[in-house]
C-alpha cells in the first residue's frame, strides 16, 4: 500500500499523524466535535511555510466556549447572507493554522470547483518535479486552446499564453496561478502525467473522473494546510507554491476584508451556466491569511445568480473572520481580544 503523503522527515510524519493530518482521514475529529484542542509546535522559517514539529492535545473549557460563540455568530451571518438577492448557498471553512480549532458553516457542502482545480494541478506539478528535477524547465509549444476550453470570463486573466510561443512548465504555473489562465492550465494538464494528478487527488480524498465533479470548502482547505505544514511537498516546493498563490491577482474575494500589507496566499474560481433562462453562478475564494501572530486558512464557496452579490458575500465573511481573529469586534466585547490568544489558553 502506498503512503498517503510524504513528510519532510520521519519526525514530521509522526507529528502530523498525531495531530490528525493524515490526508485520507477526517481532519482533527476531536477538534471538530469541540472535545479537545491540539497545540502545535512549529518551525518558523520566516517564509510562508511553517513546518509542523510536534503537537499535544488537551482540553480547554474556555477554548470550547469561545470557539462555540464564534461558530454561532458565523452561522448567523451565513443565514443572513443566504437570504440576500443573488445569493443561494454559502459554505465556509475556517481554521487557525497555529493551534487548530475549526469553525465553519456548510463546510462539507459540495460545489463545482471551477478554477480552484488549478490548486491540485499546482501541487501535482511541483510533486512531479521532486522526482524529475528538469520538469519545471521543460519547454512546451502552445498551439492554442481546443474549442471546449474557450469561454468568456467574468473575471478575465490579466495575462494569457500566446498561440505559437514556447513556455516552460514553471512559466505556465505562473500564468495558471497568478492570472488564473485556462490556456496555461490546459497545457499543464496535457504535460503532466495523468497518474501524478490522480495520485494527488486520491491523497487528498478527491475523485474528479466525472464531469462537473464537486468538492467542499473543507476539502480545499486541506491543500493549504499541507502546503503550510510543509508535509506533502518538500520545503522548497511548499514555499514556491505559496509564493505563487500569494501573487494571485483576484481582489474581489477574501482580500476585500484584509488590510493592505497582509499577505494572502489564495486561489479563486468562477463558474457560469445558463439554466431555464437564468444564469447559475458559483464564485469561490480559498487561501491562507497571514494575520500577524495568527495565520489562518479560510475557504468560502458560494452559489447564486449575481456575481456582485457573491463577491460581497465573500468579502463580508472575510471581514468578519479577520476582525474576530486579529482585531476583535466592538460589536461583541466578549471576543474583544484576538481569538488566537483565547485558543491558546490552558
Assign domain 10-343 to its CATH architecture: 3-Layer(aba) Sandwich (3.40)
13 near 55, Cβ under 8 Å? no
**How is the chain split into domains, by residue range?**
10-343
pTM of the model: 0.79
What is the Cα–Cα distance from 153 to 141, expressed in whole angstroms?
Answer: 24
What is the Cα–Cα distance from 21 to 23, expressed in whole angstroms?
Answer: 6
What is the Cα–Cα distance from 158 to 178, expressed in whole angstroms?
Answer: 9
The C-alpha cell of 337 is what? Answer: 481580544
Nearest to 117 by CA among 63, 186, 29, 36: 186
Over its length of 346 residues, how does the chain's per-residue pLDDT go in tens digits?
Answer: 333 322 323 333 223 323 433 333 323 333 343 444 455 544 455 677 666 544 444 445 545 555 666 788 899 999 999 999 999 999 999 998 877 678 899 999 999 999 999 999 999 999 999 999 999 999 999 999 887 776 778 999 999 999 999 999 999 999 999 999 999 999 999 999 999 999 999 888 877 655 557 899 999 999 999 999 998 999 999 999 999 999 999 999 999 978 999 999 999 999 998 777 778 999 999 999 999 888 999 999 999 999 999 999 999 999 999 998 875 433 333 333 334 343 333 3
Amino acid at each position: 500500500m502506498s503512503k498517503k503523503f510524504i513528510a519532510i522527515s520521519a519526525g514530521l510524519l509522526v507529528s502530523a499523524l498525531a495531530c490528525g493530518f493524515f490526508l485520507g482521514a477526517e481532519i482533527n475529529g476531536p477538534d471538530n466535535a469541540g472535545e479537545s484542542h491540539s497545540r502545535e509546535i512549529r518551525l518558523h522559517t520566516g517564509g510562508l511555510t511553517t513546518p509542523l514539529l510536534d503537537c499535544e492535545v488537551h482540553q480547554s473549557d474556555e477554548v470550547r466556549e469561545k470557539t462555540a460563540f464564534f461558530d454561532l455568530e458565523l452561522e448567523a451571518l451565513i443565514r443572513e447572507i443566504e437570504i440576500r438577492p443573488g445569493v443561494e448557498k454559502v459554505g465556509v471553512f475556517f481554521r487557525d493554522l497555529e493551534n487548530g480549532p475549526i469553525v465553519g458553516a456548510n463546510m462539507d457542502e459540495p460545489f463545482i470547483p471551477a478554477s480552484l482545480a488549478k490548486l491540485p494541478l499546482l501541487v501535482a506539478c511541483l510533486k512531479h518535479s521532486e522526482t524529475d528535477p528538469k520538469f519545471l524547465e521543460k519547454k512546451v509549444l502552445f498551439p492554442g486552446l481546443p474549442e471546449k476550453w474557450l469561454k468568456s470570463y467574468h473575471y478575465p486573466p490579466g495575462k494569457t499564453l500566446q498561440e505559437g510561443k514556447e513556455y516552460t512548465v514553471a512559466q505556465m504555473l505562473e500564468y495558471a496561478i497568478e492570472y488564473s489562465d485556462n490556456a496555461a492550465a490546459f497545457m499543464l494538464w496535457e504535460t503532466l502525467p495523468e497518474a501524478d494528478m490522480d495520485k494527488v487527488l486520491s491523497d487528498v480524498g478527491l475523485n474528479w473522473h466525472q464531469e462537473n465533479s464537486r468538492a467542499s470548502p473543507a476539502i480545499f482547505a486541506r491543500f493549504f494546510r499541507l502546503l503550510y505544514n510543509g508535509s506533502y511537498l518538500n520545503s522548497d516546493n511548499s514555499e514556491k507554491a505559496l509564493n505563487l498563490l500569494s501573487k494571485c491577482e483576484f481582489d474581489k474575494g477574501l482580500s476585500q476584508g484584509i488590510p493592505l500589507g497582509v499577505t494572502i496566499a489564495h486561489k479563486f474560481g468562477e463558474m457560469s451556466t445558463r439554466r431555464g433562462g437564468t444564469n447559475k453562478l458559483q464564485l469561490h475564494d480559498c487561501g491562507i491569511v497571514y494575520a500577524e501572530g495568527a495565520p489562518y486558512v479560510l475557504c468560502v464557496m458560494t452559489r447564486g445568480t449575481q456575481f456582485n452579490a457573491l463577491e460581497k458575500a465573500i468579502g463580508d465573511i472575510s471581514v468578519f473572520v479577520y476582525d474576530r481573529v486579529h482585531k476583535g469586534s466592538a460589536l461583541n466585547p466578549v471576543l474583544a481580544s484576538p481569538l488566537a490568544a483565547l485558543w491558546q489558553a490552558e
